[in-house]
Amino acid sequence: MAEHHAELCALLLRESYGELAAQVYSKLAHVGRSTLPTLISHSGLPSRHVRIIIAVLIQQHLVFHYTPEADGMTFYEVNSENAYNLLRSGKIAKVVADRHGEDAAQVISNLMQLGHARIDDLEGAYKLNSHTNGVSNAATDHVNGEDAASGHNAKKITSVAQLHSVLYKLLKAGLISKVRKRDFNSVADTHNDAETIVKREEFPDGKVTGPKAKLAFDSSVFSLKRKWREETDAWDPRSASRGIINRSDGRPIKRARVNGYGNGVGRYEEDEGIMLEGDMIIAVNYEKCLVALRSQQLERLAARLIGDTTAKVYASLLILVERKVHRCYDDLAVYADEDHEAESQPDSTTLEISDILDPRLDLVTSIGSEDGPDMTNGYHSGDDEMGDTPVKKENVEANSYRDRNKRLKLIEQHMNLLAEHPRRFVTKIGSLGQGQWRVNFPALIKGMQRTEIETVVNSRFGTIATRIVRMLAMKGKLEEKQLANLALMRQKDIRSILTNMQEVGLVDAQEVPKDNRRQPSGSYYLWYFDHDRCRQLIISDLYKAMARLIQRAQHEKDQYSALIEKAERLDVVGHEEEYLTANDKNGLREWREKEEKLLTQLERQDDVVALLRDFSAQ
Amino acid sequence: MTVVEDQGATLYEKCLATALSSPEGKAKLFYQEELIAFGIVDNVADLMGLCQGLMHAQLLRLMQLDNKTCFALRTKEIANKVVTLAEEERMVYNQIENTGTNGIWQKNIKQRTGLHQTAITRAMKTLETKRLVKQIKSVKNPAQKIYMLSHLSPNEDVTGGPWFSDGELDIELIGVTADAVVHFIEKQSWARGFVKRERSPSPGMDGIEEAGMKRKRTDDIEGVHTKSRKRHDMVETQISFPPGYRGYPTVSAIHHFIRESGFIKEDVVLTEGDIKGLLDVLVFDDRIEQIGNGYRTVRGVQGATEAMMGMVHGKAPIDMIEDVEGNGLTQAPCGRCPVFNLCEEGGPVNARNCEYFEAWLRA
Ligand code: SF4
């Protein structure tokens, strides 16, 4: 696993930062946490190069550095999570564009390229008010899946006010965050820090002896780490405001909705005109971006299993609950049991959903008639269309309430569809706000992970194997005979399927001796399915497969390199018709299609990685 | 007909009528008290006389249950045949009859009658030609012959349940029944509806408008009713019934459907537990899902899995890799690659010289 991950990350680094950076990264990943001299001697590269590269990688948050208080030696360690994140930048930009507009997507893309930036520097980079538009896109390589051309008509950042307003919006959504010193330290370093502090403050003699002291020590370290996290999470972007500026274009500040749907929860409430502190350093908050990606995958699943409209209602709920969490799962949270964890999941209400749901969404025709399959849908008549029949003036207000209540009822119906689905997309926990809905993420994600594992099982061993895996996952350990009975299969037919799957580790068997002679003949075998083990196996395969996709993309590019160089020549750009032959154009199209296919696949594989690795606790 | 014969006939008819309206049916056992209660005779001695007569005619047989004497009925048709049997044949017949729907092994007949093997073989031949007994296969011991009365259906311990034929799991029967059940459920699972699918923008479309459409969520809502130009097609799709809908088929509705559709032979017992077992398999196969107090098909599903249907046509289950949508891994060449473990950069098999990629990119 680690080896495939390192291979993949090195490839990603090479795409973005060149061969040398990839080499240094690989070496550091290989030797592990080490000092600069150690790294240099291992790398076999000129020390000057290594130093420069390490500096770049630190700026990009691809390498952690840490200087223990005791001696002044600095240790370096790869930030493999962020290295992997290079691959995700296109996907993150897309979700940001969908939710916050193209200008926000542009800002977040730029931030991903820069690693981190001071607000003032960012302002400078956009060269605002001059005529060049935005920062250079040169580093946006194809791995990011960012097609520069697709944004040619998009809203660009054109003024300081706009930049600040976008940044503030992203800060509030948590998609970017203020960088702290600790962000440059690895998890292990942070842990060590906490241990050092606890030792110094609570165990002045420096000794933690005996189980009781050890317990107290561990719990103090844990609490301290929690405290640090809570401090970070509690940070309010408003505290970084240095005042309000007037919009330079003189347009009035947009008001919240006025048609009775909104009550100040609109998108444009107070973002406008905020000016952020110039020396604050910001970076992309990948943890929170993952939350958005998780919502996307859940929405997609609901669309497939229930329908597009219900999924859109669900997406609104997910956006609301996103506001209440900082990350997909909290590894520093302590839950008494599964139920407690479920109860701690975020919720929101029908009323809040109606505030942010696209009012144009047709909620009626997407639910069938109560009367069953043979009836035509009676709902879709004119009486639901507002303003179809002339209305008396005094009725207008009553009507607007009536319409609003009708819509709330419809939203509630869609929520109930989500609640009654066997996946339990939501759980109703109260009737506050016309229905209060909780999303039990741990259970949902586990179910989706299993679906993903089953998909892999299905593609390798067929549907009967999938049936067996599902049975084992739901029923626990089973003997071959019980399995056959439950699966309505002959024992001899499932035996080979079981052993084939066992060979690759997707299922396993436990030997249970019938007596204490413990002879193999006197034993029976209980088959079982290990969810986490399967996850790890598939993640490892994914890393390897992704590396192959990138290598192949590189190979294809090499094949067409002469052509690509020609098309990128300065005299050719803009004069393609003159300089490129029909053959040239065909070749280029061929290459683009191949590249597109490879990169689409890469993104889809990353979806699986996100689901299996990032959406739940390891 | 003598009075006694007449009374005997009445007793038999009464018993038969009582048995047929009882939950046990023809297999009902009668104790002395019940027979007296019919009121045909008023004392035990007379009753025993009547029973004696019926036993002689082979219409009634004596049994012991929990140390109490009781009687079991035979139909006239069978009784007529049994009357004609020779002594040894009748002994064998009785042993087989006593084991009811469990059946009996030949070696047990031998033990219990004390007859010689040749005598048993001979008796058995007669009984089989007279169609009084039959051979069946047991799931527990397919190699051993077991015997049972012809008109009985072996019970589930012997047959393995409704999905077995001749002691073997009937994959074909399961496959076709499952497929029919999925279709049956499917018809009642989803309403037909039409949804708008945005048209993919035509090549000549103005880029600005295109971007504007993408951003519609953040647009002002004042624009709601103004965009009436048609940019979408209506596509037929499965839409959900309202929450709490009660029209989804239940286990008993599905039970009824299977019974009525004639997949399972009339005389085979089909319990709701059997149906539940089949439905569980379909849930495991992601064909159907439990909803409310019934079942509906998973959205988009049309029938049983290909593997199930394949096995109906004699294919091995392992051959059937479903061509379902899959995910990013399973659709990529590496996700299905036979030399995945050998493949490495710089090695003899690698992404650059890979034929699977070549084919996949061309596809
Ligand atoms: S690159 Fe080709 S050979 Fe290597 S794992 Fe992928 S499909 Fe197999």
Alpha helices (runs of H) in A462-525, residue ranges in sequence order: 463-475, 480-487, 491-504
Residue in B192, B317, B351 closest to A551 by CB: B351
Cα–Cα distance measured from residue A439 to residue A318, given in angstroms and rounded to the nearest whole number: 8
Task: Tell me, yes or no, whether A338 and A255 share the same domain.
Answer: no
Task: Tell me, yes or no, whether B52 and B170 share the same domain.
Answer: no
Task: Tell me, yes or no, whether B271 and B171 share the same domain.
Answer: yes
pLDDT at residue A113 in the model: 87
Residue ranges making up the domain that contains A561: 536-614
Helices (H) and strands (E) in chain A, counts: 24, 14
Other C-beta atoms closer than 10 Å to the C-beta of A266 total 16
Rounded to 5 degrees, what are φ and ψ at B66? 50, 45
pLDDT digits (tens, 9 = 90+) for B333-349: 998 898 999 999 888 99
> If residue A428 lies in a helix (H) or strand (E), which one and from where to where?
strand A427-430
Q: Decide: helix, strand or coil at residue A231.
A: helix
Triad B67, B72, B74: Cα angle to 5°: 155
Token pair of A290 as six digits? 């993952």
> Is residue A611 within 8 Å of A448, Cβ to Cβ?
yes
CA of A601 to the centre of ligand 1 (A): 14
CA of A290 to the centre of ligand 1 (A): 29
Residue in B193, B218, B335 closest to A377 by CB: B193
Question: With left for phi above 0 and alpha for psi between -120 and 50, is residue A115 left, alpha or beta?
Answer: left
Chain B contact set for A547 (CB, 8 A): 345, 351
User: In this structure, is residue A56 part of a structural domain?
Assistant: yes
> Which comes out higher in pLDDT, residue A329 or A139?
A329
Secondary structure letter of residue A256 according to DSSP = P
Asked whether the beta carbons of residue A305 and residue B299 sit closer than 8 angstroms, the reply is yes
pLDDT at residue B146 in the model: 81
Rounded to 5 degrees, what are φ and ψ at A527? -85, 145
Final residue in a domain of this structure, among A226, A256, A284: A284
The answer on pLDDT for B5 being more than 50 is: yes
User: What is the least distance, in Å, from the CA of B74 to any CA of chain A?
Assistant: 36
User: In this structure, is residue B258 part of a structural domain?
Assistant: yes
Q: How far apart are the first and last CA of chain A?
A: 14
Final residue in a domain of this structure, among B33, B49, B79: B79
Cα–Cα distance measured from residue B306 to residue A146, given in angstroms and rounded to the nearest whole number: 39
Q: Decide: helix, strand or coil at residue B312.
A: helix
Cα separations in angstroms, B301 against A307, B187, B244, B253: 14, 11, 22, 20
Cα separations in angstroms, B218 against A263, A361, B173: 17, 14, 56
User: In this structure, is residue A210 part of a structural domain?
Assistant: no
B340 Cβ closer than 6 Å to some ligand 1 atom: yes
pLDDT at residue B233 in the model: 72
Asked whether the beta carbons of residue A308 and residue B195 sit closer than 8 angstroms, the reply is yes
Residue B130 CB contacts under 8 Å (≥ 6 apart), including other chains: B81, B84, B85
User: In this structure, is residue A602 part of a structural domain?
Assistant: yes
User: In this structure, is residue A226 part of a structural domain?
Assistant: no
Lowest mean pLDDT among A102-116, A286-300, A444-458, B111-125: B111-125
Residue in the structure block whose two tokens are 């971007």: B211
Task: Tell me, yes or no, whether A160 and A308 share the same domain.
Answer: no
CA of B323 to the centre of ligand 1 (A): 20
Task: Tell me, yes or no, whether B257 and B311 share the same domain.
Answer: yes
- What average pLDDT does this structure show over A7-18? 92
pLDDT at residue B134 in the model: 85
Q: Decide: helix, strand or coil at residue A310.
A: helix
CA of A147 to the centre of ligand 1 (A): 27
Cα–Cα distance measured from residue A217 to residue A555, given in angstroms and rounded to the nearest whole number: 54
> Is residue B109 within 8 Å of B95, Cβ to Cβ?
yes
- Nearest residue by C-alpha to atom 6 in ligand 1: B334
Closest C-alpha to B361, from A557, A271, A13:
A557
In this prediction, residue A350 has a pLDDT band, given cuts at 50, 70 and 90, of very high
Other C-beta atoms closer than 10 Å to the C-beta of A483 total 22
Domain count, chain B: 4
pLDDT at residue A266 in the model: 39
Chain A contact set for B303 (CB, 8 A): none
Residue ranges making up the domain that contains B357: 325-362
Calculate the dihedral angle through the C-alpha atoms of A263, A264, A265, A271, rounding to the nearest 10 degrees.
Answer: 170
pLDDT at residue B220 in the model: 35
pLDDT digits (tens, 9 = 90+) for A288-302: 999 999 999 999 999
In this prediction, residue B139 has a pLDDT band, given cuts at 50, 70 and 90, of low
In this prediction, residue A123 has a pLDDT band, given cuts at 50, 70 and 90, of confident
CA of A554 to the centre of ligand 1 (A): 15
- Nearest residue by C-alpha to atom 4 in ligand 1: B343
- What average pLDDT does this structure show over B224-236? 58
Does the CB of B235 have a partner CB in chain A at under 8 Å?
Answer: no
Task: Tell me, yes or no, whether A505 and A478 share the same domain.
Answer: yes
Cα separations in angstroms, A523 against A73, A443, A495: 58, 35, 16
B339 Cβ closer than 6 Å to some ligand 1 atom: yes
Task: Tell me, yes or no, whether B175 and B275 share the same domain.
Answer: yes
Asked whether the beta carbons of residue B345 and residue A467 sit closer than 8 angstroms, the reply is no
CA of B333 to the centre of ligand 1 (A): 6
The verdict on ipTM greater than 0.90 is no
Secondary structure letter of residue A255 according to DSSP = P
Rounded to 5 degrees, what are φ and ψ at B148? -155, 155
Task: Tell me, yes or no, whether A357 and A304 share the same domain.
Answer: yes
Task: Tell me, yes or no, whether B93 and B187 share the same domain.
Answer: no
Task: Tell me, yes or no, whether B294 and B175 share the same domain.
Answer: yes
Residue type, A212: K
pLDDT digits (tens, 9 = 90+) for A316-326: 999 999 999 99
- Provide the percentage of residues in chain A whose pLDDT is more than 90: 44
pLDDT at residue A271 in the model: 54
Chain B contact set for A377 (CB, 8 A): 191, 193
pLDDT at residue A218 in the model: 87
B19 Cβ closer than 6 Å to some ligand 1 atom: no
Closest C-alpha to A221, from A195, A199, A246, A247:
A195
CA of B352 to the centre of ligand 1 (A): 9
- Nearest residue by C-alpha to atom 2 in ligand 1: B354
User: In this structure, is residue B356 part of a structural domain?
Assistant: yes
B349 Cβ closer than 6 Å to some ligand 1 atom: yes
Q: What is the CA radius of gyration of chain B?
A: 34
Alpha helices (runs of H) in chain B, residue ranges in sequence order: 3-21, 32-37, 44-56, 76-83, 87-98, 106-113, 117-129, 156-159, 171-187, 207-214, 251-261, 272-284, 306-312, 328-331, 355-362
Task: Tell me, yes or no, whether A522 and A609 share the same domain.
Answer: no
Task: Tell me, yes or no, whether A308 and A171 share the same domain.
Answer: no
Residue in A366, A488, A500 closest to B195 by CB: A366
Asked whether the beta carbons of residue A604 and residue B216 sit closer than 8 angstroms, the reply is no
* Residue A545: closest C-alpha in chain B: B334
* Residue A310: closest C-alpha in chain B: B240
Domain count, chain A: 5
Closest C-alpha to B181, from A304, A476, A484, A488:
A488
User: In this structure, is residue B219 part of a structural domain?
Assistant: no
> Which comes out higher in pLDDT, residue A257 or B328?
B328
* Residue B307: closest C-alpha in chain A: A463
User: In this structure, is residue B39 part of a structural domain?
Assistant: yes
Token pair of A524 as six digits? 């029976």
> Is residue B129 within 8 Å of B94, Cβ to Cβ?
no
pLDDT at residue A186 in the model: 80
User: In this structure, is residue A370 part of a structural domain?
Assistant: yes
Triad B226, B232, B233: Cα angle to 5°: 140
Task: Tell me, yes or no, whether A67 and A132 share the same domain.
Answer: no
Task: Tell me, yes or no, whether B263 and B178 share the same domain.
Answer: yes
User: In this structure, is residue A522 part of a structural domain?
Assistant: yes
The three state secondary structure string of A45-71 is CCHHHHHHHHHHHHHCCCEEEECCCCC
Final residue in a domain of this structure, among B79, B111, B130: B79
Task: Tell me, yes or no, whether A385 and A342 share the same domain.
Answer: yes
Task: Tell me, yes or no, whether B178 and B72 share the same domain.
Answer: no
The answer on pLDDT for A549 being more than 60 is: yes
* Domain harbouring B45, CATH code: 1.10.10.10
In this prediction, residue A463 has a pLDDT band, given cuts at 50, 70 and 90, of confident
Final residue in a domain of this structure, among A514, A529, A544: A529
User: In this structure, is residue B113 part of a structural domain?
Assistant: yes
Other C-beta atoms closer than 10 Å to the C-beta of A339 total 9
B12 Cβ closer than 6 Å to some ligand 1 atom: no
Token pair of A312 as six digits? 């859109």
Highest mean pLDDT among A291-305, A321-335, B203-217: A291-305
pLDDT at residue A253 in the model: 46
Highest mean pLDDT among A66-70, B7-11, B293-297: B293-297
Asked whether the beta carbons of residue B350 and residue A496 sit closer than 8 angstroms, the reply is no
Q: Which residues pair with B149 in a beta bridge?
A: B133
Does the CB of B16 have a partner CB in chain A at under 8 Å?
Answer: no
Cα–Cα distance measured from residue A505 to residue A540, given in angstroms and rounded to the nearest whole number: 13
- What average pLDDT does this structure show over B61-66? 81
Task: Tell me, yes or no, whether B129 and B104 share the same domain.
Answer: yes
Lowest mean pLDDT among A104-113, A356-365, B47-56, B258-267: B258-267
B343 Cβ closer than 6 Å to some ligand 1 atom: yes
Chain A contact set for B292 (CB, 8 A): 420
User: In this structure, is residue A396 part of a structural domain?
Assistant: yes
User: In this structure, is residue B215 part of a structural domain?
Assistant: no
3-state helix, strand, coil in chain A (%, to 5): 60, 10, 30
CA of A550 to the centre of ligand 1 (A): 12
User: In this structure, is residue A203 part of a structural domain?
Assistant: no
The DSSP line for B97-135 is HHTGGG-EEHHHHHHHH---HHHHHHHHHHHHHTTSEEE
The answer on pLDDT for B227 being more than 80 is: no
Q: Which residues of B264-300 are buried (b: 16+ CB within 10 A; e: fewer)?
A: beeebebeeebbebbbbbbbbbbbbbebeebbbbbbe
Residue in the structure block whose two tokens are 């130093």: A51
* Domain harbouring A51, CATH code: 1.10.10.10
Task: Tell me, yes or no, whether A421 and A460 share the same domain.
Answer: no
Ligand 1, from B331, B336, B339: best to mutate by most atoms within 8 Å of Cβ? B339
User: What is the least distance, in Å, from the CA of B179 to any CA of chain A?
Assistant: 14
Asked whether the beta carbons of residue B289 and residue A463 sit closer than 8 angstroms, the reply is no
> Is residue B217 within 8 Å of A361, Cβ to Cβ?
no
Task: Tell me, yes or no, whether A421 and A500 share the same domain.
Answer: no
Task: Tell me, yes or no, whether B68 and B138 share the same domain.
Answer: no
Relative orientation angle of helices A463-475 and A441-461, to the nearest 10 degrees: 150
Which atom of ligand 1 lies at the shortest distance from residue A551's CA? 1
User: In this structure, is residue B208 part of a structural domain?
Assistant: no
Give the best residue of A316, A463, A506 to mutate against chain B (max B CB count within 10 A): A463
Final residue in a domain of this structure, among A529, A544, A570: A529
Task: Tell me, yes or no, whether B195 and B169 share the same domain.
Answer: yes
* Residue A554: closest C-alpha in chain B: B352
Task: Tell me, yes or no, whether A262 and A352 share the same domain.
Answer: no
Asked whether the beta carbons of residue B324 and residue A458 sit closer than 8 angstroms, the reply is yes
Task: Tell me, yes or no, whether B273 and B176 share the same domain.
Answer: yes
Final residue in a domain of this structure, among B79, B112, B144: B79
User: In this structure, is residue B128 part of a structural domain?
Assistant: yes
Task: Tell me, yes or no, whether A448 and A435 share the same domain.
Answer: no
In this prediction, residue A345 has a pLDDT band, given cuts at 50, 70 and 90, of very high
User: What is the least distance, in Å, from the CA of A337 to any CA of chain B?
Assistant: 26
